[in-house]
Structure 1
Amino acid sequence: MAISVETFFLSPGAEGTLQAQIQQMIAQGILSGRFRKGEKLPSSRKLAQHLGVSRITVTLAYTELLANDYLESRDRSGFFVSQNAPEPPQFPPRVSRRDVIDWTRAIGRKFTGGAMPDKPKDWSEYPYPFIYGQTDPSLFDHANWRHCALRALGQKDFQSLAADHYDQDDPQLIEFIVRHTLPRRGILAEPSEVLLTMGAQNALWLTAQVLLTQRRTAAVEEPCYHALRDILTQSRCHLVSVPVDRDGVPPDELPNEVDLIFTTPSHQSPTNATMPLERRQALLQEAKKRDALIVEDDYEFEISFLRSPLPALKSLDTDGRVIYVGSFSKSIFPGLRLGYLVGPEPFIREARALRASVLRHPPGHMQRTTAYFLSLGYYDSLIRRIGQVYARRRKVMEAALDAHGLGVEGRGVFGGSSIWMRAPDDVDTEDLADALKVKGVLIEPGLPFFDTEQAPRNYYRLAYSSIPSEKIPAGIAILAETLQARTAG
C-alpha cells in the first residue's frame, strides 16, 4: 500500500534543517506504527512539491533513512519502509497535547453504562459458540447475494446507488414489504405508512424519540431486550417493568398510567414465550382502556419452522394504536442493519423527519440489493433452508439438554433460534460463562436482560443459530459437566 503524500506536513515551529525535519517526520511515522513495513513512500518529486521544498532536500533525507535501515530502495519502484525497520513499541505513543477540558462537566448527557453484553468478536473461532444473533456462513446464500449486489451496481440502478434521497426510501424495497412481507403477518399498509430503518434497534430508538417525553410512561417486559431498556432510559421517560410469564406480558399487570407499551409477542426476548391469540386481544383492549400505544417488535417471525406463527398484533388492531417493528437483519444477516417501521402516517412522517436529521436514509445500494434479493425469490429460499437446519439443530439440542437434565425455562412455540435456560439458584451465569469460555464454549448470561438490582443471576441463553448440529452434544456435555462441578462444590 502507498502512503499518501497528504500524510506529511512540516510544523511551523519545528527546529532543525528541513532535511532533518523530513527525516524525523518519517522515522516517527515508522516508530509509531503509522507507516508499516513494505509500504511505499511518495516519490521525492511529489513530496518536495507537497512540502514546498527542493527535491534534493527530500532525496538527501531519504538517503539518510536508507543508510539507517528505516527505508529500502527498489529498482525503478522508489522507496519503501524497510523490512528491517525498527519495530514500533508495544505501548501507545505519548501525546504531547495537554487536555484541559473537564469532561465530567462538559458532557451534558451520558449514553455509556448500559447493559450491553460482551460478545467475543472471534466467536467463530470457538468450538462451541451457543451465541445469539450471528450469521452461520454455511447457511448464507453468498452467490445470489453477490449477484444482487452486482446488479444493484449497474448503470440502470446508478441513482439508487449514488443519489442523496434525503428522507425517501427505495420504492422497490418498500413495494415488496407492502405487497409481500406485511401481508404474511396479516398487515395491510400503504407505502406512506412504512419507513426503512438501520435495523430494529434504530426503529425502536426513532419510536421512543417521537412518542416519549419526560412526562410520559413506557412499560417494558421483564426481562426484555437490553438495548431497548437503554434506549428508554436515555429518553428520560418514566419506565415500568412488567414481569412476563409463559404467555408473555400479562395485560392486567400493566400500570394504569401508561403511554407506550413495548412487547415482543411472537418470540418474547429473551424467554421465547409466545403470546396466545386471546392474550393479544386482551392486550389491545387494555391498551384501549388506558389510551396507550403499543410497539410490537416482531424481530424473529420469519424463523417459524415448527408451525405457522399467529397473526401479528398489528393485524388485530382496529384503532391504529400499534406501531410495528420488523427487521431483515435477523433473517438475512445482522451486518445488513436494515429494518422497518409500520404505523399511521402522522407517526411515520415525524419518524421520517427525525431519521433525515440524523442519517437521512439507509445506504441506497444496500436497499436496492435487498430489494433484488427479496423480489427474485432468493430470500424465501434462504428462509426455508434456515428453517430446516434450525429444526434439526433444535431437535439435537433438546435431546442433549434432556439427556443431561439441564433446566429449560423457555423455548419458542413456533421456532426461533435460541432456548432460554435456568441454572440452579446458587449459580452466577456470568462466572459460568467465563469458566466455559476457557473450555471453548460460549453462552450468553441472562443478567443484562433484567432491570432490578435484585435480578436473578442464574439465567442464560443458548442459541443454535451459529453452531453445527454435530457439535451441539459435545458442547452441552461440557456445559453440564461444568455446571455439575460448580453446584457440587
Structure 2
Amino acid sequence: MPAKSDATLQQQIQQIVAEAIVSGRCAPGEKMPSSRRLAQHLGVSRITVTLGYTELVANEYLVSRDRSGYFVADTAPTRPVFADQTVIDSGGVDWNSKLARPSRLREDILRPPNWQDYKYPFIYGQSDPDLFDHGNWRNCALRAVGRRDFDSLAQDHYQNDDPMLVEFILRHILPRRGIRANPDEILITLGAQNALWMIAQLLLSEGQKAIVENPCFPGLRKIFDQMRYVAASVDVDSDGLAPDSIPPDADVVFTTPSHHAPTNVTMPLTRRLQMLERALQDDFLIVEDDYEFEMSFLHSPAPALKSMDQAGSVIYLGSFSKSIFPGLRLGYVVGAPALIREMRQLRSVVLRHPPSHIQRTTAYFLSLGHYDSQLARMARIYGKRRAIMEGCIREFGLEPAGREMHGGSSFWMKAPEGIDTTRLALDLRRESVLIEPGNAFFARRAPDRSHYRIAYSSINAGAIRDGMALLADAIRTAPRG
C-alpha cells in the first residue's frame, strides 16, 4: 500500500489492482488473489478487499465467477504498447525564440506554496478550514450530480451559464449592492482575474488610455504586461482613487472602491458620485471590482458605483473566491448587454463556460441559505481576530499605513524608514511567520519596499498575538538602509 495517501484503503486497493491491469501486469482471464489472501498480504480487513473487488467488477476491470473467485475481464482497459522508438538528439528547441509573446516577469506577492506549514500565516486570501461549511457544500455537490440535475449538467451548454446560479445572483446577491440587472447583463467567470482579462482584451488597444490605482491588485498589471499594454497609474489617497486625479483623456478606469486593494480604504459616497460625474463628463468607462464587499462587518457597506450608474458607464465585477473558498474560482460580471455578448463570445473561444457542476453546486449552496450562514460566521470570527490584531498593533507600536473603514480581512502596514519589507518577510520565515511585502502592489515607476500586508483570514485567533510579537521584534532588530 502507498506510504502516504488521502484515499481510503478500499480506494487504494482499487488503484493498485486497476493499475496492474491497465499496465498489463495482470492479463485478461488471469485469476486474482482471493479476498482473504490479499487481505492478509496487505494487512487490511477482508471486507475492505471484497468491497474494492466489487467496485472493480462494476467498472468492468474484473468479473466474478461463482465458487471460482475474481478474474481479469476480457474487456478490461489496457494501455497501448508502442515499439521502441529511435531517439534523435537534436539539442532541443529554443523556446525563447519560438514564443511570440513571452510573459514579462513582474514581482509577485511573496508567499510560499506550503504556507499551511507555518505557525503564523498572516497571508491574504487563503481558506480557513475551520470557517468553511464542508458538510453542506458536500451535500450540495452530491445534489448537483444527482439524477435530477445530471442530464442537464452533462451537456455542453456552449456559451450559456447555469440559469439557477444566474437567477440567484440577479435576485439575491446584486440587490444587496443596490444593483438591478437582467439575465442578458450578467456573465459567469472564472473569478475576477478572468473577468479583468476579458475586459482588457475587449476595451483596450493601442492609443487608448487605461487608469489603474497605485498601489493596486498585481494581477491586473500582469494582464497588461502580457498584452504589451502600458496603463497609467494614479496614486490613491486616504479615500481611495481621487476623481480629480483622473486625466481627461482616460478611456477606462479600474478601481476597487469597496475595500481598496491593498490598503482597504473605502471610497466615500461623495467621491463615488464625483467619479460617476467625471465618467459622464469625459466619456470614460469604470471597471468596478467590488473587492471584499461581503467583509464589510464593521459598518454597513457603501453603495456600489454600479447601483448609482444611470448611464451604463460602470462594469461591475463580483467574486465568490473570498466568501466561499479561494479554489472555487467563480465570479461574475454585470454590464451592458452589448458588452456581455462580446465577453460571452470571447469566453467561448477559451473555455466555453465554467464547469456546469461547479456552477450548480454553488447555486444550491447559495439558494439553500448556506452562503449567508457562512458569511455571518466569517464576519463574527473575523471581527474577533481583527480586534486582537488591532490591539497588538497598538501594543507593539506597529504602524498602519491606511485608514480602515468598513472591514476587510487584512491590514496595510508601513515599516520604519530604511527597512526593506521583502528582506523582512524572508527573515521572518525562520520564525515561522509569514507576511506579504508590498512591492508587488506598486507600479514599476514607483517601487516601494516599505509597505507590507498582514491578514487575519488564515490564522487562528489564538496564534495572532505570538505572531505579532515576533513581527514586532523582527522590525526592531531589522537592518536599516
Instruction: Output the TM-score relative to the length of structure 1.
Output: 0.81
Q: Which residue of 1 aligns with 2:61?
A: none
In 1, distance between residues paired with 2:446 and 2:420? 13
Q: Which residue of 2 aligns with 1:223?
A: 215
Pick from 390, 397, 414: which aligns with 1:405?
Answer: 397
Please state how far the C-alpha of 1:411 moved relative to its aligned partner. Answer: 5.0
The answer to whether the 8 A contact 1:446-1:459 is kept is yes
The answer to whether the 8 A contact 1:298-1:326 is kept is yes
Aligned-residue Cα RMSD (Å) equals 2.4
The answer to whether the 8 A contact 1:166-1:361 is kept is yes
Pick from 280, 287, 298: which aligns with 1:295?
Answer: 287
Q: Which residue of 2 aligns with 1:310?
A: 302
How has the CA–CA distance of structure 1 residues 178 and 479 changed in structure 2, closer, same or farther, with 3 Å as cutoff? same
Over residues 21-78 of structure 1, what are the superposed CA-to-partner deviations in whole Å (9 max), with x where a residue is unaligned? Answer: xxxxxxxxxxxxxxx9x97352364599xxxxxxxxxxxxxxxxxxxxxxxxxxx999
Q: Which residue of 2 aligns with 1:356?
A: 348
Q: Which residue of 2 aligns with 1:42?
A: 24
In 2, distance between residues paired with 1:292 and 1:47? 71
Q: Which residue of 1 aligns with 2:41?
A: none
Amino acid in the other structure paired with 1:248: G
Q: Which residue of 1 aligns with 2:417?
A: 425
| Identical-residue share of aligned pairs (%) | 54
Superposed counterparts of 1:81-96, under 5 Å:
none
2:138 aligned counterpart, secondary structure = helix
Please state how far the C-alpha of 1:232 moved relative to its aligned partner. Answer: 2.0
Q: Which residue of 2 aligns with 1:258?
A: 250
1:108 aligned counterpart, secondary structure = coil
Pick from 144, 153, 165: which aligns with 1:161?
Answer: 153
Superposed counterparts of 1:23-172, under 5 Å:
40=20, 41-43=23-25, 45=27, 97-172=89-164
Q: Give aligned pairs, total.
A: 415
1:302 aligned counterpart, secondary structure = helix
- After superposing the two structures, state which structure 1 stretch, 382-391 or 405-414, moved more: 405-414
Q: Which residue of 2 aligns with 1:199?
A: 191
Q: Which residue of 2 aligns with 1:446?
A: 438
In 1, distance between residues paired with 2:212 and 2:99? 28
Pick from 430, 452, 476: which aligns with 1:484?
Answer: 476
Amino acid in the other structure paired with 1:104: N
Q: Which residue of 1 aligns with 2:65?
A: none
Amino acid in the other structure paired with 1:42: G
In 2, distance between residues paired with 1:198 and 1:304? 23
2:318 aligned counterpart, secondary structure = strand
In 2, distance between residues paired with 1:118 and 1:455? 15
Please state how far the C-alpha of 1:455 moved relative to its aligned partner. Answer: 1.5
Instruction: Output the TM-score relative to the length of structure 2.
Output: 0.82
Amino acid in the other structure paired with 2:132: F
The answer to whether the 8 A contact 2:428-2:434 is kept is yes
Please state how far the C-alpha of 1:99 moved relative to its aligned partner. Answer: 4.2
In 2, distance between residues paired with 1:157 and 1:109? 42
Superposed counterparts of 1:212-291, under 5 Å:
212-291=204-283
Amino acid in the other structure paired with 1:120: P
Amino acid in the other structure paired with 2:24: P
Over residues 103-152 of structure 1, what are the superposed CA-to-partner deviations in whole Å (9 max), with x where a residue is unaligned? Answer: 23221112241332232222111100000000000000001000100000
Residue segments in structure 1 that go unaligned for 5+ positions in a row: 3-35, 49-75, 79-94
Amino acid in the other structure paired with 1:331: S
In 2, distance between residues paired with 1:235 and 1:286? 27
The answer to whether the 8 A contact 1:214-1:236 is kept is no
Amino acid in the other structure paired with 1:410: G
Amino acid in the other structure paired with 1:163: Q
In 2, distance between residues paired with 1:391 and 1:257? 42
Q: Which residue of 2 aligns with 1:7?
A: none
Q: Which residue of 2 aligns with 1:329?
A: 321
Amino acid in the other structure paired with 1:310: A
Q: Which residue of 1 aligns with 2:42?
A: none
2:478 aligned counterpart, secondary structure = helix
